[in-house]
């Protein structure tokens, strides 16, 4: 166990345990330290990825850039310029004009440094009278129980932490397996975890096959280009759509139309309205992707108002196109991908993945095209870039499986994550709000749809810290702390 801080707490201080030390868990710990006015003990339990950085910002590769401009990447919703101000503490950005720095897509590892420095600041405060004792445990949390008035979190190795509240901030899981992938799990030419350091395992030459065409694939393409990969790079997905770049355009005053409540329209009418406005923007020579930006502040409400049948239909018919337009990349990254396509170094194939199998030292990827015709790609190295696993009941996490089996949590109606109340308290199988368990981050995808990027997660981390503090002791919340609402909608727009 690594104790980052010994503070002025006593054994009777409330204890909040956070499972997951990525952005969501770390920022909740930071907000608890910022908000608490009475002694509090906070323990961050993290394993598998770098504490403070998580999956996204744990990359060591300099070519991996944020897909959001610096001006909208503050980790603190009540200090919108915090990240840009922090960047000024680094010599390499000290002289960059503000207007340029705010629009820059920073390396993700620099953002990881930012999160680590924030965590360290609150875990080891210079003020020795700090009320919050924060510690981290580098271990996997595997089980959760209750003893009437307290919770118990069991970590691998058998240690049990007694807690008043437990937050699940377990983040993104590695991609789901593909047909045949279990049998090639330890094959040297197969990589099932695209966020591992696979570049150290690359063969000397040959073709690389990337399964998927989303943001994770773009990361892999950019790394292969940075490494000077000489072989072919193939990316495959059912729709064959690569992410689009951020762009700047003039505002469109006609969308959303005045007086229309987008959340009340229902899927069919909403799609019709969007298609009309996209067609209008095309006629006006404007980028119709702007509609997605303007819809973004409303997407959580729209998703929550959909029926389950509408949500399923959206996922089946529209989600792939939505994701390709919604998840933008830095223009400089887009230029590299476009150049690789133009030069033939990168090929994108529109096909389903029928199976993956061992072929001696290589991996055979069997494809089924839109017309049903089958073909095969032979990969010197193949990477599963299909994006985080999203069927919650099939989670590979021991802790989440145990929580499901005990009924302490229950899947949301889409089985994409866990069911929560609006204040992030978990709802058990009995339909009752848990007095101990909370959840934020990608675990709320089924409830909110948009629950993965920093602009949403920073608000969740602050709100859940306020709620948990309020419940452990009403007196522990600073009454002078202003209620912070979602960041201004315009800040979502890139
Ligand atoms: C490659 C990538 C790039 C991204 N880039 C951006 C970007 O540029 N801008 C943006 O806004 N968003 C980006 N995102 C979205 C990203 O999901 C969020 O920004 C954020 O990093 C999610 O943080 P998290 O803490 O919820 O999850 P994670 O980062 O996944 O962290 C969860 C942590 O919990 C740990 N954990 C899980 N289970 C247990 C357990 N049982 N016991 C102990 N520890 C456990 C995991 O190992 C991990 O360390 C990106 C995502 C990815 C995958």
Predicted confidence at residue 10, as pLDDT, reads 57
CA of 58 to the centre of ligand 1 (A): 9
Q: Which residue has the tokens 């702390």?
A: 481
Query: How far is residue 81 from each of residues 67, 71, 156, 296, measured CA to CA in Å?
Result: 17, 6, 39, 21
Same fold, 15-173+390-492 and 181-244+328-384: yes
Q: What is the pTM for the complete model shown?
A: 0.91
Query: Which of 22, 220, 245 for a ligand 1 pocket mutation test, highest count of atoms within 8 Å of Cβ?
Result: 22
Answer whether 468's CB lies under 8 Å from 81's CB: no
Q: Atom 26 in ligand 1: which residue has the minimum CA distance?
A: 171
- Given a contact cutoff of 8 angstroms between Cβ atoms, the answer to whether 123 and 4 are in contact is yes
Q: pLDDT tens across 59-99, in order?
A: 999 999 999 999 999 999 999 999 999 999 999 998 999 99
- Fold of the 15-173+390-492 domain: FAD/NAD(P)-binding domain (3.50.50)
By mean pLDDT, which of 9-13, 389-393, 417-421, 433-437 is the weakest? Answer: 9-13
Q: Average pLDDT of the chain? A: 90
Is residue 475 very low, low, confident or very high in pLDDT (cuts 50, 70, 90)?
A: very low
**Measured between alpha carbons, how far is 294 from 279 in angstroms, rounded to an integer?**
16
List the 151-155 sheet strands across, edge first: 141-146, 151-155, 160-163
Please state, for a pLDDT cut of 70, what percent of the chain lies above it.
93
Multiple choice CATH, 181-244+328-384, 3.50.50.60, 2.40.420.20, 1.20.1730.10, 1.20.200.10: 3.50.50.60
pLDDT of 343 > 90? The answer is yes
For residue 441, give the ligand 1 atom closest to its CA: 26
Atom of ligand 1 nearest to the CA of 440: 26
Measured from CB, residues less than 6 Å from any atom of ligand 1 are 19-25, 45-49, 54-56, 66-68, 140-141, 169-172, 219, 397, 399, 441-442, 452-454, 457
Question: If you average pLDDT over residues 217-222, what whole number do you get?
Answer: 98
Long-range (24+ apart) CB contacts under 8 A made by 393-400 are 394/176, 395/173, 396/173, 396/174, 397/170, 397/173, 398/140, 398/142, 398/143, 399/19, 399/140, 399/141, 399/142, 399/143, 399/144, 399/168, 399/170, 400/168, 400/170
Q: What is the Cα–Cα distance from 104 to 69, expressed in whole angstroms?
A: 5
Lookup: tokens for 19: 């499972």
Q: In whole angstroms, what is the distance from residue 105 CA to residue 68 CA?
A: 6
Percentage of the chain beyond pLDDT 90 is 78
Q: What are the boundaries of each domain within the chain?
A: 15-173+390-492, 181-244+328-384, 262-326
């Amino acid at each position: 166990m690594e104790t980052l801080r010994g503070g002025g707490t006593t054994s009777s201080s409330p204890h909040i345990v956070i499972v997951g030390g990525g952005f969501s868990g770390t920022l909740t710990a930071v907000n608890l330290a910022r908000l608490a006015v009475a002694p509090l003990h906070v323990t961050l339990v993290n394993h598998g990825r770098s504490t403070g950085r998580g999956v996204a910002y744990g990359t060591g590769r300099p070519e991996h850039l944020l897909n959001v401009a610096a001006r909208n990447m503050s980790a603190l919703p009540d200090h919108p310029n915090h990240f840009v101000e922090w960047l000024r503490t680094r010599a390499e950005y000290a002289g960059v004009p503000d207007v340029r720095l705010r629009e820059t897509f920073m390396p993700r590892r620099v953002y990881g440094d930012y999160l680590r420095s924030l965590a360290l600041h609150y875990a080891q405060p210079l003020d020795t009278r700090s009320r919050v004792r924060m510690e981290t445990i580098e271990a996997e949390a595997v089980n959760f129980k209750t003893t009437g008035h307290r919770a118990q979190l069991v970590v691998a190795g058998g240690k049990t932490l007694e807690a008043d509240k437990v937050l699940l901030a377990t983040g993104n899981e590695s991609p789901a397996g593909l047909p045949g992938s279990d049998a090639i799990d330890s094959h040297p030419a197969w990589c099932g975890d695209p966020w591992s350091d696979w570049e150290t395992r690359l063969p000397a030459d040959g073709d690389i096959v990337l399964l998927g065409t989303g943001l994770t694939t773009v990361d892999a393409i950019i790394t292969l280009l940075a490494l000077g990969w000489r072989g072919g790079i193939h990316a495959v997905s059912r729709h064959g759509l690569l992410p689009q770049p951020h762009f700047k355009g003039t505002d469109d005053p006609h969308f959303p139309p005045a007086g229309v409540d987008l959340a009340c329209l229902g899927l069919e009418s909403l799609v019709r309205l969007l298609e009309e406005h996209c067609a209008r923007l095309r006629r006006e020579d404007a980028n119709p992707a702007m509609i997605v930006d303007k819809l973004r502040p409303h997407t959580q409400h729209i998703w929550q108002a959909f029926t389950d049948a509408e949500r399923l239909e959206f996922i089946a018919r529209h989600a792939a196109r939505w994701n390709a337009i919604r998840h933008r990349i830095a223009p400089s990254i887009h230029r590299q991908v476009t150049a690789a396509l133009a030069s033939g170094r990168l090929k994108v194939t529109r096909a389903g993945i029928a199976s993956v199998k061992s072929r001696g030292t290589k991996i055979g990827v069997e494809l089924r095209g839109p017309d049903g015709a089958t073909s095969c790609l032979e990969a010197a190295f193949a990477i599963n870039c299909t994006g985080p696993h999203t069927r919650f009941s099939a989670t590979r996490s021991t802790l989440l499986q145990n929580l499901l089996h005990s009924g302490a949590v229950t899947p949301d109606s889409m089985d994409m994550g866990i069911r929560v109340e609006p204040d992030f308290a978990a709802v058990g199988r009995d339909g009752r709000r848990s007095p101990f368990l909370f959840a934020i981050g990608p675990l709320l995808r089924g409830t909110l749809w948009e629950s993965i990027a920093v602009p949403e997660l920073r608000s969740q981390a602050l709100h859940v810290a306020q709620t948990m503090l309020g419940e452990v002791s009403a007196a522990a919340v600073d009454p002078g702390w202003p209620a912070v609402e979602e960041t201004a909608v315009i800040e979502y727009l890139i």
